[in-house]
Amino acid sequence: MLQQARTIPTRQVPPTAVARQAFDSPLDMMGTQMRFGRNAEVYGEDEPAEYLYKVISGAVRTYKVLADGRRQIGAFYLPGDIFGLEAGDDHAFSAEAVSDSQVLVIKRSAAMDMAARDSTVARQLRTVTGRELQRAQEHVLLLIKSAQERVAGFLVEMARRAPGASTIQLAMSRQDIADYLGLTIETISRTLTQFEKSAAIALPSARQIEIRNRAALTRLNS
């Protein structure tokens, strides 16, 4: 499952129509918008964490590849999410665009400077790290569960994070989901068809999932 050759990210001067709703913090004013093609690398593991990133459109995954080639996805970031803020000086994971994405790139040092002066920004950065921690802890809880529970949990999480619509638009492949949940694509696929047969979801197409019985999914997600 080799990644396709990395495309060179094209730096763009802030274009005309920017997703205005994404600019909701003083931090955002310091960012430069960049475009990353599908599977393009945003940063690599062990690179110095010089920037933070905010997804404007598209989706980004962070991941690690273990010695034997297994890939573990740490998280998916959707529009509005901030990522790349690390505990140490270097990135612990690599980051790639799941699909074509617009990303706001903010210099870390500048963000830190601003945080030192503006306690609102400082609080925001703490909140981001805190959410990241919560996310990782919930991920741990997911990974000890059965395949059904993991997939149900994933769907519920995606439904919660996606804009209101009852049909989830998945940016990521079955392989991405499998690598996030510690399962195989076959198990993901089988579990989804099973949910479909039990009428908990509908699958108009592979990347569209309609939640028909959220209670059933939440119950599974014990």
Q: Which residues bind a copy of itself (CB under 8 A)?
A: 64, 66-68, 70, 72, 74, 86-88, 92-93, 126-127, 129-134, 136-137, 139-141, 143-145, 182, 222
Q: In angstroms, what is the C-alpha Rg of the chain? A: 18
Residue 202 binds DNA (CB under 7 A): no
Give the whole-angstrom CA distance, residue 57 versus residue 31.
15
Residue type, 84: G
Q: Are 155 and 201 in contact (CB under 8 A)?
A: yes
DSSP 180: H
Question: For DNA, which stretch binds (CB under 7 A), given 22-30, 128-136, 188-196, 212-220?
Answer: 188-196
Tokens describing residue 125: 């950065």
Q: Which of 3, 127, 146, 198 binds DNA (CB under 7 A)?
A: 146
**Rule CB under 7 A: is residue 207 a binding residue for DNA?**
yes
205 lies in the site for DNA, by CB under 7 A = yes
Stretch that binds DNA, among 9-17, 92-100, 189-197, 214-222 (CB under 7 A): 189-197
Q: Choose among DNA, a copy of itself, none what residue 169 binds, the Cβ cut-off being 5 to 8 Å by kind.
A: none
Question: What DSSP string runs through 44-109?
Answer: -TTSB--EEEEEEEEEEEEEEE-TTS-EEEEEEE-TT-EE---SSSB-SSEEEEEEEEEEEEEEHH
Which of DNA, a copy of itself, none interacts with 83 (beta carbon under 5 to 8 A by kind)? none
Per-position x/- string for 161-180, each x denoting binding to DNA as judged by CB under 7 A, each - no binding: ------------xxx-----
Residue 136 lies near DNA (rule: CB under 7 A):
no
Kind of pairing between the strands at 10-11 and 41-43: unpaired
For binding to DNA (CB under 7 A), which residues are involved?
Answer: 146-148, 173-175, 182-190, 192-193, 203, 205-207
